[in-house]
Structure formats: C-alpha cells, structure tokens
A = this chain, B = another copy of it.
Amino acid sequence: MDIAAQVEAKARAAKEASRALALAPTRTKNEALSQMARGLEEKAATILEANRGDLDRARAKGFTRAFVDRLTLTDDRIEEMAAGLRQVAALADPVGDVVETWRRPSGLEISRVRVPLGVIGFIYESRPNVTADAAGLCLKSGNAVVLRGGSEALESNSLIAQLLAKSAEKAGLPADVIQHVDTPDRAAVLALLTLDRYVDLIIPRGGEEFVRLVNERSTVPVLKHDKGLCHVFVDESADLEMAVAIAVNAKAHRVSVCNAMETLLVHAAVAPRFLPVAAARLAEAGVELRGDERTRALVPGARAAQEADWDTEYLDYILAVKVVDDLDEAVTHIRRHGSGLAEAIVTADLRSARRFTREVDAAAVLVNASTRLVDGAQFGMGAEMGISTSRLHARGPVGVRELTTTKFVVLGDGQIRE
C-alpha cells in the first residue's frame, strides 16, 4: 500500500469508529480515559524503551540539547501524562449540552445541541506527551483523532497511541477512535490534508511556515495555531509597579511560548520613570532589550531595534521596546505588527481600558494582566489543544467545548411551510 492509501485507511477507520464514540455516554468516555491513564502507567518501562530509541537517533543526528530535552520521557513525565488524562476525565462533557432553546409562534420548538465534530487530524511537534493530551481531549469531546507527531518522536508516539487505543477498547469503545500515522514521510501529512471525506478538522501546531503550508494544501478546515507576537502597552496612567511585574511576567515567565510578550510599548509620559526600573528588572531576569531611540536615551544599555524587530517572534530572552506618544500610536502599532493572539494594556484609566479592548483586534485583550494568562487552564476552560488565532469557529484557547459543533433539533406537531 502506498503512503496516501495507508493514511486514507486510517482516516476511514477513524470516521467509522467516530460514530460509536459520538453516541457514547459520558461514563464510558471517562472510563476509557481512566484506562488510558492506567495503560500508560503499567507500560511505562516499555514506553521509556521506545523513547530511548528516538533519543539515540536524535542525538546521532546532532539535534540540540533543548530539542532532545523536549523529546525525552521520564517516569515523572509519564506520570504527568496519566494525571493529565485523569484531569480530562474530570472535565464536564460538552456533548449533548443544549446551547439554547426557543419556541416559534407556530409552536415549533428549536434547540441547538452540542455534538462532536467527528474526526480531528492533529499534526504536532516532537513532544511525545502531547500525544496523550490530544488523544484525551479528542476522546472526551467525542471525536476520533488521527495523530501525526514530529517524526523524531515516531517510536514513542506510535507506542503511546497504540497503548491508548487498546486502553480505550477496554472501556468498550472502538480502538480505531485513536489513530496514529507512523510513516515518517512528509507525504503522509500532505495526504491527510486532502481527506475531507473523513477528516472534519485539521489542527496544525508548529512554525509559521509549516502552518502556512498546511493552510495552503488542506481541503479540510484548519484551526490555526501559529505565530504569537504579543504586546504589552504601559499607559500614561498605569500603576508602574504593576506594569513592571506584568512586563517581567509576560516576557520572562517562559520565553518559548506563543503568549509571551515580544514587544513592550510605553507611553512617552511615563517612560522616564518606568523604563529604567523595568529594564533593570528585565535584565535581572536575563532579558536583552532592543529599543527605539527614545528607549535607548533612557536605557543606554539597550541595543538599537531594527525595523524587523517589530515583526519578530523571538521566543527567547529578547524584548523589543518602543516609546509611543499615546494610546492611538500603541493601537496602530499593534494593528500593524501584532499576530492577533494576546494584547495587554496596563492602565488606571477607564476610558483607555475601554478603547483598548474595543479597538485592538485579538483573540484576547487584557487589562492589567499578563499575556501569559491567555491559556485554557488559566481561563478555567480545562486543558487545551492550543490557542487558535483563526477567526472562525474557535478563537483563543481550544478546549473540549471548542472541539464540538452544534445541530438544530426541531420538534413540531405537523408544522409545514406556508
């Protein structure tokens, strides 16, 4: 069988199996999630052995230490995967929720009811723990999943997916609801993108270029999780102590994630008081600054920002800093350079807060809070598949509810169209 045919067979099997899963009661899905957690724990030694194979190959290929670290599983990480599945079991089941109900003058009763999307194709980077997280969220929301992790984690992912599928079967669900594409070839990904007969949604995680390729090639709808170029704007009226704490947290809490701040915008009126303090605190956290001229006049140690810096997602201990004349300039800068993920203002002024939240267009706009809080768990939505910067369907954290669609259920007693 060629690669495309292999992937098609998996997607078709997932579609077939998704029907039983869509109708499965919550308790069956939760039992499957428990079995999946137990399955990982019981086979931890085998998983670590498979992972060692992936690690040996990655080291032989000369991957960076950071990359190898992300690829590495340990007993603790396996325990975290199991705990994650149990947390997903504890989430409310969105399937069957009645979103709204109304009655027409004719007596017709119309409801919108949540149902699973069907089959989700999930393409992700080389962290084997993501395999369990994604399989759990898809199963809880009643969706079959076709997983395709980074090829460097192939042996680990393939084994984990197999174990999860077998465990789900113990709870009475078809094993085919969890599929893994274990062909390292990129052709397998491209094949998956055209299987709109069987796959209802593609979620790609990875670099900007990769997500663009997926979007261009896919005939299946795509929920994008791409670039995160987030700003914090320190307004004239900001509580400057709060602004420093938010800036340091937004930049340095974890630099490699999409909701980290990449550019700090500072109102000219407070820049002289704010920037020297903020720069010192950021330096303590290991952050290097790239500033415009006005910033450098206040923070002599900052390197000169180039035009390209305003468009760079560093994902590193680097921060671009710009002094702006007012809220308008901040909003215009964000409009031009932001990626529409998370944008924050620090302000004590109600009018500024209202203008910023209205005029800035992003999945999340925050007032007096760190961009790092834009996250499913932090928002109280449970675990997430990622943060969507798409405008359609789901914008922001994608949790179990965002993996559902709705159908209209219409109850009548003989109504016809006049």
Give A contacts to B, CB under 8 Å: 19, 22-23, 102, 104, 108, 110, 115, 117-118, 196, 200-201, 215-216, 219, 221-223, 239, 242, 245-246, 249-250, 253, 335, 353, 357-359, 361-370, 372-375, 378-380, 390-393, 395-396, 405-417
Contact = CB atoms under 8 A, between A and B. Distances in A.
Q: Nearest 7 pairs between A and B by C-beta?
A: A369-B412, A249-B416, A372-B417, A364-B408, A393-B393, A242-B414, A366-B410
Given A368-B412, A395-B407, 4 more contacts: A110-B379, A200-B391, A364-B407, A369-B416
A404 to B, nearest CB: 10
B201 A392 contact: yes
A164 to B, nearest CB: 24
Nearest to A242: B414
A365 B412 contact: no
Contacts of A250: 416
Contact of A392 (B393, B411, B415): B393
25 contacts: A23-B358, A102-B380, A110-B379, A118-B391, A201-B391, A215-B219, A221-B221, A239-B414, A242-B414, A245-B414, A245-B416, A362-B407, A365-B408, A366-B410, A368-B412, A369-B412, A369-B415, A369-B416, A370-B415, A370-B416, A373-B415, A373-B417, A374-B410, A379-B408, A395-B407
A77 to B, nearest CB: 21
Contacts of A215: 196, 219
Nearest to A414: B242
Contacts of A242: 413-414
B249 A372 contact: no
Contacts of A414: 239, 242, 245-246, 368-369
A365 B365 CA distance: 38
A410 B358 contact: no
Given A369-B414, A408-B374, A409-B365, A390 B249 contact: no
B249 A408 contact: no
A206 to B, nearest CB: 17
A389 to B, nearest CB: 11
A406 B410 contact: no
Contact of A364 (B223, B357, B372, B410): B410
Contacts of A358: 23
A201 B216 CA distance: 15
Nearest to A346: B414
Nearest to A249: B416
B379 A413 contact: no
A117 B357 CA distance: 16
B415 A115 contact: no
A384 to B, nearest CB: 13
A374 B118 CA distance: 23
Contact of A249 (B216, B370, B396, B417): B417
